[in-house]
Structures are given as C-alpha cells and as structure tokens.
Structure 1
Amino acid sequence: MLTFGGILVNGQLKVTFPILLCFLFFIACQGRDDTRFEIRREVKALFRKADTVKSSTIRERTIDSAAAKLYTSDNDSIRRELIFNVAARYEELGARDKYITACRVVYNKAKQQHDTVDWAQASSWIGDFYVAEMRSDSAFKYYLQAEKIYRSIKDEESVGRAMLGKATVLYHTGNFSEGVNQAIQALQVLKDSDDHFLRYNGYLMTALSLKEVKDYSKALDYFDLSAAEIDQLEKQGDFPLSYLHSYRAGYFNNMGTIYERLGSYDRAVDYYNSGLKIKQPYQKSAELYATLLNNMAYAQMKNGAPKGVREKMLRAYFIRDSIQSMPGIVSSKIKIGELDLLEHDTTSALRNFKEGFDLARKIHASAEMLQTLKLLTEHDKKNKDHFSKLYFKVNDSVQAVERATQNKFARIAYETDQIQEQNELLSRRNKIIITVAALLLLVAISGIAILRLRSKNKELLYAQQQQQANEKIYQLILKQQSETEAARNEERNRIAMELHDGIVNSIFTTRFNLMQLDTASTDRKDQLVQELEKTEQDVRKVSHDLQNSLFVENKGMVAMLSQLVAAQQNDSQTEFDVSVDKYIDWGTVSDAHKIHVYRIVQEAIQNVHKYAQAKRCLVMLLKTDQKITLRIWDNGVGFNPEKAKQGIGLRNIRTRAEALGGVLKISSEPNNGTTVAVIF
C-alpha cells in the first residue's frame, strides 16, 4: 500500500527519501500556486476597475494599489508580467516617476531570477525612459545590456530594436557617423522582419543620421524607404491612422529640409506644402504643423518669394510659444531674424538673434547657439569681437563635448562587458553556495521529517493496538450483558411457568373443590371462592408481568427521551414535545446506536435553546420500512446551513449520523424554522 511519505510494510510506515522529497516539493508548489493565482485575480480586478474610471487621479490610485500588491509579492513570471502592465499604465497616465519605478522593480526581479526575456525587456524600457529624459549615457548602457541579452537568446528582432535605441542615443548626442553605422547594422539584423514599424524606425534613424553627415543622396533614399514602410503599415489596417498621418507629414518635412540644404527651394516648398495638406495630425501635434509652416515660409523666403512669409513665420512662432516648445521658439527667432535682415531691419534681426541665443543657451542647444552667434558676429558690427570670441569659446566647448562623447559610449560598452563578466563569475559562485546550502537544508528537513514520521508511526501503532484492546473489552462486555440478560429472562420465564403451572393450578383446584362443597354457610363459601379467584388473578398477573418484562425494558429508551424533552425550558417559552412510533423495536437497536440517537436529540434541543427563538419544538421517531427516522422540528428563526456547516454542534450531529450508518438532512431558511432529520 503506497502512502505520500513512503510505503506501509507489515503495518510499519517505511519512508523513502526520493518520495519524501517529491511530496515536500509538491506541497510547497501547491501553496505557491494558490497564492500566485489569488494575487493575479486581485490585480486583474484592479486593472478592470481602473479601465472603467474616467478620473485620471482615481485610475492612478487604483494602479498604485495593484503595484503595492505586486512589488512585495513573490517573484515569478506572472507577477513580472503584471508589473510590466503596471508600468505601461503609468506611462499612459504620464506618471513618469512611477513608470521608471515599476521598470526598475521588474528589472531587479527578472535579474534575480535570471529571466533573460523579462530582464532584457525591462532594460529596453528603462533605456526608452532615459532617452526621453535626455540622459544619453544611462540610455545607451541599458540598450547595450538589452542587446547582449537578446543576442544570447537569439531574439533577432529584439536585438534590432535595442540597436536602434543605441542609434537614437548616438544621433541625439551628435555622434552621427556612429549613429549611421549602428542604424545600418540594426537594419541588417531586421532584414527578414515582418515588423514594418520597426523597419520604419530603422530607415528613419539611418536617414536622419546620413542627413547630419551631409550624405544627402543616401539620406533621400532611406527617407523613401521609410515612406514605403508607412505604406505597408497603412495596408495592414491595424495601425492608428493618426500616427500614420504624423509619420507621413514628418517624411515630407525631412525631405523638404534636405532639398532646402541642397538649394532646391522649389522642391522643398512642394514637400512642405504636401505635409501641410495632411490636416488630421495637427489636432494632436501642433509642433509638427508649426515646423512645416515655418520651414515652408523660410524656403519661400530663400526662393525669393517673400509674400506672406512673415505671416506664416509669426503664426508658427505663436503656436510654438503657446505650447512652450523651446527648440521651436529658437528656430522661429532665427528664421524671423533672417527675414528681418532681408527686409533691412537690422535692429529687429539682432534682437531676434540675441533672444534666440539666450534661449538656446538656456536649453543647451549647442547647434542653435553657434548658429545665432555666427549671425550676430556677421551683422552686429558694434559687438562683433564679443560675439566672435563667444562663438569660438562655445565651438571649442561643443567640440570637446563631442570628443568626450565619442569615447564615452565605447567606454560604457567596455565597462559593461567587464561588469557582466564579474557578475557572471559572482553569480556562478553564489549558485554553488546556494545549491550546497539548499541541499544541506533539505537533508536536515528530510531527516527531521523522517524522525517525525517514525514517531507518528509508533503513535499510530500504539493507537491501533489500544483500539483493538478496547474493541475486545467492549465485545466481552456485550457478551456478558447478553449472557446476563439471557439468564435473567430464563429465570423469569421459569418463575412464571412455576407460578402458572403450580400455584395457579393449585388455587384453581381448591377454588373448584370449594364450589362443589355442599355447605350450609353459602355466604362464607362464596367469600372464600372470591378470595381464591382474586389470588389466582393476582398470581396470573405476576406471571404475565414477568414474561413481558423485556417489553417493559424496551420502553426505557422512550422514557429516557420523554424525560429529556420534558425537562426542557428556556427564555423563549418553547413548547417541547416528543412522539415515538410504538412499532420501533428498540431491542434490535444497539446500545451504541441508542446513545448516538440520544446525543443527537440532546444537541439539536441545545441548538434550539441557543439560537432558534422557537415557540414550539417537536422530536419524532418514526418507523419507515426497515429504517428509523429521527426528526427534530422547530418554528424558530432558522439559519443558513451552508454558512453554519463548520460549527461544532452540526459537525457532531453529522459525525453521529455517520456512526449510525444513516443520512443527515438539514432543511432551514432564515425566518422559516429548521428541520433536522436522520434516517438510519
């Protein structure tokens, strides 16, 4: 016979070590699974609640509750997936600080569990955050880490995505040549990818970097390739049209800037104008509209068609000022200043250039700082030397930063490799230590468990032997009671027979002889005859009573129940009554079963006292076919059996009903009374 902890051999529980380990592992996993799915249900419920709430404040608080449950819970893939969901919802709400917190939590949890997929995804998300925060070195480090992890698991598409993240960082830090190389390498990785949005970003980043290194011909080609990917996204039909329109408008703007740099102002104006014809995105992207409008006005000015140019530039400036787009305001100031120069309004031009320089310095826009300083040096004759020195100072500073930046990312890559190697070595050592410690702990736990099981086995054997001894004693007592009862019945029958056959007959004979006598004293004779007749009847009654004594004893159970019920009284003035079917043969019911019946009635009556508040309670015992039905009914307040089924009283009644080999039925509803029935 197999058991969970071992094998039962000759009544002894023999524990086997492998089976014990499996059992302990199963119990531990089962408990964790229950908790895991409970947390998942709670968090999913909070997500659904957040989705139905319109207030962003309440939505954020609801997501905070989900995050609190997940951050402190166990570390498994389901919880990490839910934390990613939390991060995405924070991003949607614009809660940037909470977004990065969620990303760092899932990053640390995934790293701790060596879950490469979650680890890499968290690294990529953190990189995205630092790009938006303009923290280029941190963004590059996390993108590089994501790339290495994705390469290790051969996820080519994700490798390409991480490489595009690095290319974006390089572009924004002015490392355009490195940005071109990184973007092209990413496109080579993504050459077989069906993700058109990813490929669009790859072509776009390559084209933007090529534009900055003045390779305009290739830049135009890559911009056209990005436009082809936009067409593919539109054909798929599952990409938001508003985004597609924005991407297409951006394409027209980029193409226009290249032709503007090439001096093809007519073509530049055509591209800008094509972008402006796309009306839909400007409800959400006023900056893009202002950029196109400002660029088209500038190209028209450079093409010698100044009519309406100032109105367009001022309109673009006011849009940028209303949305506080600082880089856009700088661009507008520079272009309006150049228009002032064209219209010979030097004073206004210098004012715009100075305002543009001050704002560019404030936002650390080095390219615009140099552009405005160059214009001021050329046209502010009075302060030419000042602005010239400032130009060279800023230019030297910018070049120094560029040189430092060019080496910084190579250093980050090297240091990341070194740290990764050290972490892998430390991780291997920690694994060995943890494994050895876990094995020792498992052996210790197993040893304790074995000792406990052996001790339990001894207790079970002792209990089994005690039970067997008790059963033997009980059987002997029953046998003795049976023999005593048989002897008592036999003696009663013998006495009854002696009384009937001996004394009764003798009295009858005497009475008969007296009746035959002829005597003068008739009255005296009749009196003696009557006395003998009465004595005969009394002896006969004693004989009959002795023979029926067993029947009288069968009435004992009824008397006990009647006495129990008659003794009941409570504050609710409940009227108790008992009814016992006379056809029940209590002689066929064992003493043990009689005790169970008595205790069930006693427990049920006690519950009526405590809870029912009934006006009447009836205890009935009925003979039904070969069964006996015990029913206790009251007209009290009732209860919910499902909620109360774990109560001690009902559990005891259920246990006794099972001991009777019977069926327990409880029928009750609030305010509709209660019926407890046991059929055995």
Structure 2
Amino acid sequence: MNKRALLSICLLLVSISCLAQNQGAFVGFGNLPVKTPDSLLRHLKQAGDIKARMLATQSLTAFHAAHGTTDSVIFYSRQMIDAVNNSAVKDHDKLSYQSTLYHTLAKAYSEQGLHDEALRYYLEGIRCAEALNDNAAVNENKLGIANVYFARNEYNKAIEAYNDLLNTSHDEQLIHIAYQQLGIIYLEKKDLATAKAYTEKALLFFRQEHQLKNELQTKLALGIIAELNQHTEEAFSIYNEVKNNAEAQQFFDIYINAGQRLGDLLIINKEYEDAKRLLSLVYTNAIQWNDMKAQLKALNSLRTVHAATGDYENAYAIMTQYMGISREMLNLQNKKEINELEIKYHTVQKEKEILNKENELQHQKTIKYSLLIGFLVILLPVIGLLYMYYQKLQAQSKLNATMDEMNQQKIAVLLKDKELALLKASVSGQEKERKRIAEELHDSIGGNLAAIKLRLSNQDSVNGLKEVIKQIDDTYIQVRDLSHDLIPQKFNNTGFTELIAGYLRQFDVPGNAKISFQAYPREEIDLIGTTLKVEIYKIIQELITNTQKHSQASKVEIQLTKIDGLLKLLFEDNGKGFSVETTKHGIGFQNIRERLKLFDGALSIDSFPSKGTVIDIEISLKPEWYEA
C-alpha cells in the first residue's frame, strides 16, 4: 500500500476518535467497552467438577453473547469443549454438554461472519441432539443452519428451512425468529411488502416478551425497508433510535450495524464528510471487536466515499485493505472438513441401514483376521527384507524423477524466455514498420503527388490534362487515407480514458449490470503509448465479456490508476464468483495473461462462490511506453 495513503488514513482515524468525545456523536472506544464481571470469573475459577464448570461457562458465554463480544464466547466455549472431551463423565451427560456448547459456538461464529465454521458446529450439535432424542435442540440447530444458508445468499434453501420449522416446531420463540429471518430474506429479494409483514409479526412478539435485543434488530430491518421505500427521514430516525438504545444496553453488534446504515444513508444524501467520519469510527470499532464482516462493510462504504470525492489514491488503498481482510476470512474457514461433515449428515440414514449387515460380517472377519495374522507372523522377516529393498528402489526412483523434473523446468523456462523475447521483438518491429510506412507514404509519395498536381495545374487547360489532374488528385487522397489507416485512429484522436468510458456506456441499458468507471489521473493515463493503450482496451473488453456471460452481476466497478510508476487496473463485480483453486481458467483469462506478458504485467484474481470477483492488474511503466 502507498505509505502516504496509509498515513492519511491513520491520521483520519485518530482525529475522528477525538471528535467522537462530543455529546451525541458516534462513540469510538479506545478499549474494549465490555469487561467480564469479576463474579463470573471467580465462579469459573472456583468450580470443582465438570458440572459446576459447565454452569459457570454458560453464565460467561450468555453475558458476552448478549453484549456482542463473540471472541469471548468462542474462547470460553472451546475451552469448555476440551474439558468435556477429556472428562470421564457418563456418555449421556457428555452428549448433553457437547450439544449445548456446539450450538453456542456455532452462533458465535455465525455472528462473526465465519459461516462455514458455524455450519460445522451446527451439524455437530444436530448429531448430539439426535443421539439424545432432544427435538427442541435439533430444531434450534436447524434454525442455525437456515441462518447460514441465508448468510451465504442461498435464499431458496433458507426459505425452505424456515418454512419447515414453522410447520414442525411448537416453540413460539423459534417461530418468531424464523419470521424475523424471512422478513430479512424478502427484504434482500426486494419484496418489501412481504418483508414488512413478516418483520412486524416478529416485532410484536419480541416487544411483548421484552426481548430488547431482538426488538432492536427487527426495528433495524424496518428502517432498511423504509429506506428502500424512499422514506429517508423515517429510516434515519429508526437507525438513530436503534443506535442510541443499543449503546445504552451495550449491544455493540447492533450498535455497529446501525452506525453502518446511518453512514450509507449519508452517502446517498451526498453528505460525504459526515459519512467519512462516521464510517471510519464504525471500522475502528469493528476492528476492536474483531468483527471482520463489519470491517468489510465499512471499508466498502469508505472506498465509495473517497471515490465519490475524487480521492482515488485513498480509495485504492482502502480496496487493498478490503482484499486482505477478505482473504483472511477465507483462510479461517476449514472448508474440507465442513463439507465432509455436511455429507456425513445427509448420509447418516444410509449408514444406519448398513449397520446391521456390518455386524453380521464382523464375526466372519474375525475368523479370517486370525488366520491372516498367523500367516503374517511367518512372513514378517521376508516382508521386512522386501520392504527395505522397495524403499531403496523408491528413493532411487524419486531421485531420478526429481532430476528429470528439474531438467524439464529449466528447458521450459528457456523456451518461455525465448518465446517472450521473440514476441516482444515481433510486436516492436511491426509497430516501427507501420510507422515507417505511414511516414513514407505521407511525406514522400504524398508530397511528390502534391507537387505534380501543382505543376500540372499551372499549365494550359486541355481536356487531357484535366483528366490527369483528377486521377492524380484521387491517388493523393487514397495515399493519405492509407497512411492514416496504418495507425489506429481512435487511439490517437480520442482521449484514452474517454474512449474506455464511451465503450462502457454501450452497456448502460435496463437489465445489464451497472458499470462504474474511474481513472486517475486521466491526463497522465492518456499519455501512455498506443501499443499499451490497445492492449489495456482489449483486456477491459475481455473482462466485460466474461462478466456478461458468467457472473450474473448487478454491479461492476472499474478503476484505472497511475501511481508510483505503476499502471493499476482494478476490476470488481458482485456476481456469483467462483473457486479460484478448483475452477479451470478459460480462453478469456489465458488471452489476458498473454497480453500482459508483452509488458511484464501481473494478474491477481480473488474470488469465492457467492462473494463476487476482484481482478487486480499491475504494469510497471517504462519510458518507451509513452507517446513520443
């Protein structure tokens, strides 16, 4: 990241923290504002057996869950899970403790935005609850899984799961939480009437039951509905009320969400400086509570503010922070283990069916194993010798394979270097030859024809001479047009950034993704060489084509920036994304990589299913790549 941009962001955060001390401002806390009560810690320390420790841990996790400090919930839950797993309590009690702890841990991970980890522990909770025949606990974990589907934007699966709970559960609390979540889903689907109906049902129940935190969360959803219905003043009033009540009750997760919504509303009203101050505080508080999901939202809004005010340098720096946090979240999720648990959950019934058959075969296997063991005892010395010989052969084979691979790599590197050098020389030669021919046609041949025309025009007019003059005039025009055609005119007669903007405006039609393009500084970017302009233009065309075909995005943002001797192209969409590790890149990306080889450019792709795609391209600018 540019050091100057980073320093300016840090100074902004410090200054805002000072301003936050004013009465009525959004508070930025210097330290974590939730301190664990000494009585709860003392209770845990003095607990003797595993049952007492479990009760003390439940009190601690309930306290921190109510105040949104999910890191503490995770710490104490995992500590207690280890203690239960290593204890000698009865199997029934162990399953009961595990069921409770897994559900608590899953909710905490879900609130942090680590949905794959949350799914892992909800599935473990269902396993324990089914073993205990505890239908209520099964339904609570199913509700959690439905929430995970919602968080991963798998709305149809989430709606099906919530409706299943409404049809099977008799727990009023779970039913109205399902109403609350269905309201949020239909809000995301822009079905505002249905969303409002579900949300108002949930709000009435939470208000009657004096469940203040759920009531504030539901009011926040009503504020979003009011905002989408263009009732800006009503939305602003709701967000402010929720923010103040959440601060008073120390519900800091809701406090952050309300601040985020207020900041986004200020952006819509173009109150950019107030939005910048408020969102910077939201980001600071999200860091203090280690809420990476909230950090991503705040950074995305801050980037929008800086771009809207023309501060593209800080916008790019904030985008770099955004990508770093996004990668950190992905690295924290153990996808392989989670997928295995999910498959195991869906196939548990089949495992039960074959369990009886396995028991029948077990007796026969025991007899066969006894005979086999006796036979192996006799063969052990022979097997040992054969194994040593085999290891020796394997080591020699690996050494040979390694040597062959190293030789192949050296040959491949040499061939690629040679191919790249030839390609660069070919392109450079073609460009020089085109310019030389154009200059020759324009300066020499064109000049000669013009002189002949002038001399013939000064002679006495006769019919023959008129025809000759007309033919020479036509020839001169053809030569001039040919010289102009040899150089791409649209890259010479039009500003490069305006050329790109004009191309992108073709896609500004209903039903297409909304495309935003910023270039900074435009004057310096317009001065880069024609060859580099052509390749950048074609790369943007390729990326737009890929997005139109595959991404199903509703929004695309393109930033072209020249900074510190680098030309940076940042291309982001909010489409369905893909797995970078498993998806094979098509011809489009291969073409882009080949174009970048001409300029020693670097391509970085950051994508994940349902999370959109970010493509980052960097080219080190050299003096010969500028216009003469």
Higher Rg:
1
> Shared fold by TM > 0.5?
no
Higher RCO (CA-CA < 8 Å; seq separation 6+): 2
TM-score normalised by length of structure 1: 0.39
